[in-house]
C-alpha cells in the first residue's frame, strides 16, 4: 500500500475523486491534504471524507528548506505527492526529495498554455482567446520548473467557436474526473514509463 499526500488550493473536485477512487482498495490511500488556502472548499471535502488536512502558510511552502512540510510528509510516510489545483510553486528541496514521485494535472494541452499564472479559468480564457479548436488535460511529473516535467498522459476535447471559458472548463473537468485517478493508479503500479 502506497501513501499519497494531495496538495490542493481550491474547490477540491479532483482531490475528492482521487480519495474516493482509492478508498477501500489495496493500492494506495490518501493520508493527508496539504492546502495553501485556509478558505478553500477542499478543506470541507477533506473533513467530510475523513482525510486529515493541514493548511500551510506561504512561508512553509515556498521556503528553500520547508522543514515543517517535510516533517509532515515523513510522519505519514508519504510515497507520492499529487498536485490537484495547487497554486504554490513546489520548493526545490521537495522536487529533489520526491523526484519522479510528484504528479500534477494541468487543464490544457502542454506545452501550450502553461507556465506561471496559467491556472484554472486563466488557462481557459487564454485557450478561447487564441481560437483553439482543441483543449484537454496534461498529467505530468513535476520538476523544479513550472509545467515542465515529463508528460505521462494527455486527453483532448474538441472546442467550438461558441465555447466560453466556462464551457471549456466544464469539458476539461469532465476529462479530469475520468482520467486523473486512473493514471495515478497506473503510474503507482509501474505501468506508465517513468
Supply 77's cell numbers. Answer: 510516510
What cell does 125 get? 480564457
Site string for ligand GAR, 40-59 (x = CB under 6 A): --x-----------------
Cβ neighbors of 42 (< 8 A, separation 6 or more) are 8, 9, 10, 11, 12, 15, 16, 33, 35, 53, 85
Which residues neighbour 1 within 8 Å (Cβ) at sequence distance 6 or greater?
26, 27, 28, 29
- Toward ligand GAR, which CB reaches closer, 47 or 75? 47
Contacts with ligand GAR, 105-134, as mask; x by CB under 6 A: xxx----------xxx--x-----------
Nearest to 52 by CA among 67, 78, 34, 36: 34
Determine, following the binding rule CB under 6 A, whether residue 141 of this chain makes contact with ligand GAR.
no
Minimal distance in Å, beta carbon 114 to ligand GAR? Answer: 8
Which of 10, 66, 149, 181 binds ligand GAR (CB under 6 A)? It is 10
Residues lying near ligand GAR in the complex (CB under 6 A) are found at 8, 10-15, 42, 84-85, 105-107, 118-120, 123, 173, 176
Amino acid at each position: 500500500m502506497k501513501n499519497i499526500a494531495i496538495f490542493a488550493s481550491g474547490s477540491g473536485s479532483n482531490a475528492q475523486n482521487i480519495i474516493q477512487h482509492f478508498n477501500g482498495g489495496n493500492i494506495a490511500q490518501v493520508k493527508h491534504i496539504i492546502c495553501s488556502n485556509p478558505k478553500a472548499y477542499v478543506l470541507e471535502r477533506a473533513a467530510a471524507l475523513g482525510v486529515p488536512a493541514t493548511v500551510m502558510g506561504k512561508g512553509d511552502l515556498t521556503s528553500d528548506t520547508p522543514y515543517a512540510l517535510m516533517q509532515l510528509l515523513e510522519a505519514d510516510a508519504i510515497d507520492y505527492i499529487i498536485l490537484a489545483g495547487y497554486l504554490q510553486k513546489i520548493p526545490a528541496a521537495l522536487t529533489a526529495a520526491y523526484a519522479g514521485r510528484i504528479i500534477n494535472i494541468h487543464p490544457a494541452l502542454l506545452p501550450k498554455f502553461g507556465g506561471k499564472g496559467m491556472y484554472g479559468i486563466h488557462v481557459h480564457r487564454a485557450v478561447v482567446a487564441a481560437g483553439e479548436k482543441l483543449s484537454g488535460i496534461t498529467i505530468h511529473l513535476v520538476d523544479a520548473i513550472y509545467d515542465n516535467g515529463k508528460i505521462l498522459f494527455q486527453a483532448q476535447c474538441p472546442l467550438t467557436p461558441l465555447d466560453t471559458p466556462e464551457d471549456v472548463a466544464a469539458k476539461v473537468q469532465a476529462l479530469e474526473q475520468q482520467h486523473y485517478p486512473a493514471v495515478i493508479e497506473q503510474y503507482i503500479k509501474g505501468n506508465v514509463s517513468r
